[in-house]
Amino acid sequence: MDSSSSEFKPGTRKAIDEVLQFYKDPERDFIPASKVADCLRALGIPITRAQSQKIIDQFGLELGTGEQLMSIIRQLTKPFRDSDKDHIEESIKNAFMALKDVDGVVSKRNLRHLLKNTGERLNDEELSLMDEYPDKLDYDSFSKLIRPPQHLDWNLV
């Protein structure tokens, strides 16, 4: 894939560059492994601990801020592109249907318990992001809570 077909739009690239500047080692053009997940989360990319560890295992303790990191960002943001929006909507609807109770809502307490105790467990700080939502989540609230962030346009030019 040539760079013209795999580059982010200018506004998104500017936001990426600003975040990279903040997280990179001031002495060198690398992001320490301990900061990779924070850097990607600052861009609104919901990276898991397992994904973060996989990146560290693959690339080592330092991650170059050039094409190496751009490649990882392109890979992690693929689900946010227009071509995958139908798949995201379907996944959100399926999750809601599986979790809703007889009243047709998802209990935030039950969702919190599920996220804290199964799969890739979220810590209390991560779970605190749910505090602004009501105790009973209708589909719209549930969708807003788990939908990938939309503040940057992850489509490629």
Q: Quick one: what percent of the chain has pLDDT higher than 90?
A: 1
Question: What are the pLDDT digits (tens) for 115-142?
Answer: 777 665 667 777 777 788 888 888 888 8
Question: What are the pLDDT digits (tens) for 65-87?
Answer: 677 778 888 887 877 776 666 77
On the CB side of 120, CA atoms within 13 Å amount to 9
8 Å CB contact between 149 and 44: yes
Query: Domains, the chain, ranges and CATH?
Result: 3-80 (1.10.238.10), 82-146 (1.10.238.10)
Q: Give the C-alpha separation, 32 to 52, whole Å.
A: 12
| Residue given tokens 């605190």 in the structure block | 128
List beta partners, residue 8: 156
pTM, to two decimals: 0.57
